[in-house]
Chains A and B, each alone.
Chain A
């Protein structure tokens, strides 16, 4: 295993010790539990999460300042919530001095860029108190989810209880107990194009990153990466917030995370290289080389 998993101080399999959180959690309820602990302990004043909106399964960035508000955003929606668009607003309208934020690997990249090169986010860099990253292969536009669920899976979005990508399939679970699975071959073309140049699978730049891959059902794999992340994670463990198992003792384990990370990075690296020769003596932009 090389750089595909990023730098990390520790990696475990974990789940929340709170039954209420687990009821609607995607897997181990790590993000909700960690933010709940940080909120209650005053480590963060609020968290930017993917909250509910007026359309079914369409998330919108939402600043949760109470545990009740946090609970509304449990689970994964598999479409875009521009959470980073709230990092300045959270310090202004909401008055947060210590921000928690959850996001995809690219959103963690955006957060770190905003801290190192804060072009338009005055006084925000020092206020990011806890950035939690989600393991991510790709994301979908909302309209893609509509088409996948309503056209391909032939279900009403309103009646969907849970969506999940795992074991090589896209799963849609209905409120009445029906389950539809779509092969990923079907979902690929609906992916957001911007995801195809992404070279990060496990949110390398987060304080703590987490996702289902590598851990048994109902559990999540957790990477603790930074000093900040380590500090908060170890306090949360001491406070009894999580059950944990050594990652070496669970199936399928870190090997699968590594394998998928390498698959994503290799495939997307090829896409990035292909863009250099996309036209006839004409290239598409490469953001990893220059802003030109």
Chain B
């Protein structure tokens, strides 16, 4: 289909869990590839050796700055892709790779891992470790609507993607501490429990209605803050939740 958008998966230092999450859309992934997306690059999925021009680059993993090829590839990704999406905790915030300090075979000198946004401008964040198949799916559908949809669909896609663009703008550091700094300290927490349910390592419990973060366990993926309804809550999108969910289901049917 001529109207598909060109998407690539760029693999930096990550565990491939993000790619597995994308694949975990099962039939939905096939529909996405059939109708909306040409996968033009992807180490494990497409036999292409060099980063081609593309509409959307899905970047997984953080960048090891001691690895020349990684640094070249991320710079090239920015040049070749109209939209760069950081997929997952490592690309967005460093996540577990923040704790890396080298010494592992067979490249013991590889010790510094940076979130993609520390080296190039990133347009959209999909946080989470791993990011969920459903959020990746939603962003794929919205990216397609933004680039190929009618005027109304473009408007919706813009509204939907805005907070994920603002997250990219917000910075490359994340921690369970964000719940203290930017939610509780700001007088915004109402104890709903979203953060605890989003945490992939069960580092968050609720004590008397407020989150309590075990900071030793936190892997710095950013899921808790992004999931919190008081980090962002865009009424113009949320009020239309029923129609949007039908639209996404319809797009993948």
Contact = CB atoms under 8 A, between A and B. Distances in A.
Interface in A174-227: 192-199, 204-205, 226-227
B208 A110 contact: no
B236 to A, nearest CB: 10
A291 to B, nearest CB: 4
B197 A121 contact: yes
Given A103-B192, A116-B241, A288-B234, A121 B227 contact: yes
Interface residues of A, number: 58
A280 interface: no
B229 A106 contact: yes
A226 B195 CA distance: 26
Given A121-B198, A290-B232, A192 B135 contact: no
Interface stretch (A11-19, A82-90, A152-160, A238-246): A82-90
Contacts of A120: 127-129, 132, 197-200, 221, 223-224, 226-227
A88 B197 contact: yes
Contacts of B163: 117, 290-291
Interface stretch (A35-43, A137-145, A162-170, A251-259): A137-145
Contacts of A290: 163, 166, 232
Contacts of B187: 193-194, 196-197, 284
Nearest to B205: A85
Nearest to B163: A291
Contacts of A119: 126-128, 131-132, 135, 198, 223, 226-227
A115 interface: yes
Contact of B138 (A61, A112, A116, A287): A116
A110 B229 contact: yes
B240 to A, nearest CB: 9
A198 B233 CA distance: 11
Contacts of A143: 208
Contacts of A195: 190
A118 B134 contact: yes
B209 A82 contact: yes
B53 interface: no
B130 A122 contact: yes
A123 to B, nearest CB: 7
A83 B241 contact: no
Interface string B129-149: 111111100100000000000
Contact of A116 (B186, B188, B226, B238): B238
Contacts of A194: 187-191, 230
Interface of A: 7, 58, 61, 79-89, 103-104, 106-107, 109-110, 112-126, 139, 141-143, 192-199, 204-205, 226-227, 284-285, 287-288, 290-292
Given A83-B193, A284-B187, 14 more contacts: A109-B192, A114-B194, A119-B135, A120-B127, A120-B224, A120-B227, A121-B132, A121-B227, A143-B208, A192-B191, A192-B209, A193-B187, A194-B190, A197-B230
